[in-house]
């Protein structure tokens, strides 16, 4: 198992609107991001995801977050969404997304959830909420997981602490409110995107 993009950082654009999506996603890709998640609790998410897949699908892995049921997976498949990120471990959602040829980063917190996700076919794991558990917990969990499984830290990851989660064994992270908050100016997205890319490069040196 290996992660499908060059940079294992997933940009989480929770709350983005269809009108804003192109400018922010374009800026993220220009900064070096190649995995974009638009959570399904964002306004008119189908419109945003469909448009972003058409515009940037050849440059980045684009898809959805907060995917909670198989019906949503079916809808995403019609939009050619390639990425499914879940907040929880739901085997039915994972199996459906894998059957549709999507990459799944499944949300989990415990060893039981992690192995349930892997048995259902998830190609990557998202430890959520990472900041509540801390890097030490992730390191301990990594000790029992198959070493080839890509693990992402999600929740509370900043440019300042990204290296701690990577040192604990994460391949990278999903970046939410520290990268993008609904309604923020494009300049803030550009600034934070650059900060995260720089922090990632420092961490892998």
Return the HEC string of 157-181.
CCCCCHHHHHHCCCCEEEECCCCCC
Active site residue 126: yes
Options 37, 82, 142, 164, the catalytic residue: 37
H-run or E-run covering 41: none
Active site residue 37: yes
Backbone angles phi, psi at 174, to 5 degrees: -100, 130
- Give the CA-trace dihedral at 188, 51, 12, 25, to 10 degrees: -30
10 Å CB burial of residue 2 (0-12, 13-18, 19+) is exposed
Options 54, 59, 75, 126, the catalytic residue: 126
By annotation, the residues acting in catalysis are 37, 126
């Amino acid at each position: 198992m290996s992660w499908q993009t060059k940079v294992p950082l997933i940009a989480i654009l929770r709350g983005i609107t269809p009108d804003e999506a192109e400018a922010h996603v374009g800026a993220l890709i220009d900064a070096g991001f190649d995995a974009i998640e638009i959570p399904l609790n964002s306004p008119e998410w189908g419109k945003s995801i469909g448009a972003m897949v058409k515009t940037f699908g050849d440059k980045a892995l684009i898809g959805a977050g907060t995917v909670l049921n198989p019906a949503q997976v079916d809808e995403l498949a019609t939009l050619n969404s390639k990425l499914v990120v879940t907040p929880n471990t739901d085997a039915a959602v994972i199996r459906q997304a894998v059957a549709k040829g999507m990459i799944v980063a499944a949300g989990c917190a415990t060893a039981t959830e992690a192995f349930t996700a892997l048995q259902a076919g998830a190609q990557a794991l998202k430890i959520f909420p990472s900041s509540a558990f801390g890097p030490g917990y992730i390191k301990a969990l990594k000790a029992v997981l198959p070493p080839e499984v890509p693990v992402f830290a999600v929740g509370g990851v900043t440019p300042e602490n990204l290296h701690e989660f990577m040192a604990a064994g994460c391949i990278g992270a999903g970046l939410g409110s520290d990268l993008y908050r609904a309604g923020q100016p494009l300049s803030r997205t550009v600034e934070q995107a650059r900060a995260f890319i720089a922090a990632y490069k420092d961490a892998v040196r």
